[in-house]
Amino acid sequence: MEFNPDELDQKAIYKLISGAVIPRPIGWISTISEDGINNLAPFSFFNVVGDDPPHVMFATAHSNQQKKDTLANTLATGEFVVNLVTEDIVEAMNTTAQTVHADIDEFELAGLTPVPSVKVSPPRVKESPVSFECRLVHHYSLEGHKYGGATVVIGRVVMFHFDEKVLLDDYKINMENYKPVARLAGSNYSKLGEIFAIKRQ
């Protein structure tokens, strides 16, 4: 079957694209408002975009033509932290996916521990074994939208944080201890399944 996105409503497009492009890593983004209020929210439209120098991206949809707190805080301060989601904190991540008022601190809402970052103002999630401190480099809004659109944010990683338990020699990651969680479609998530290797030709 073929579908012209210009002839589909937003719900259908979201179902097709989020169901086909799987699994997706979850960027659990922590920011801080200009008034000093912590914010924490998960984004599955997230990935790494380069390593020289290291950059990551996330995209946030606009609900009712309004910027989400994560985007508003990032644009105001130029900083954010990416915390990676693992099996033991996935329920807390889900709690922070709620739509709440901007003066609500999602760290408190989910019973999480904010810890100071080194180079940026937003705190890290202590319970996450991997966090990236980031500074805003680029952002742009998608054109031609019908339902509010989205904004893509690109940040440069200025500090890495790794729990020793997820590290092996030579900067390799211990997947047995890391246990990352990825986003599928709807209410579905995935753990790491069978891992296989193919050497480059």
Kindly report the CATH number assigned to the domain that includes residue 63. Answer: 2.30.110.10
Is the CB of residue 68 less than 8 Å from the CB of residue 43?
Answer: no
Residue 97 falls inside a structural domain: yes
Number of domains in the chain: 1
In a domain, 198, yes or no: no
Domain assignment of residue 5, yes or no: no
The pTM score is: 0.94
Q: How does pLDDT run along the chain (201 residues), one tens digit per residue?
A: 999 998 998 889 989 999 999 999 999 999 999 999 999 999 999 999 999 999 999 999 877 666 789 999 999 999 999 999 999 999 999 999 998 988 999 999 999 999 999 999 999 999 999 999 999 999 999 887 777 789 999 999 999 999 999 999 999 999 999 999 999 999 999 999 988 999 998
The whole domain housing 49 covers 23-185
Question: Would you state the structure tokens that stand for residue 88, as one six-digit string?
Answer: 């033991």
Q: Which of 40, 43, 42, 161 is nearest to 108 (CA)?
A: 40
Report which of 115, 109, 136 is spatially closest to residue 40, judged by C-alpha positions.
Answer: 109
- Is residue 156, in this structure, part of any structural domain at all? yes
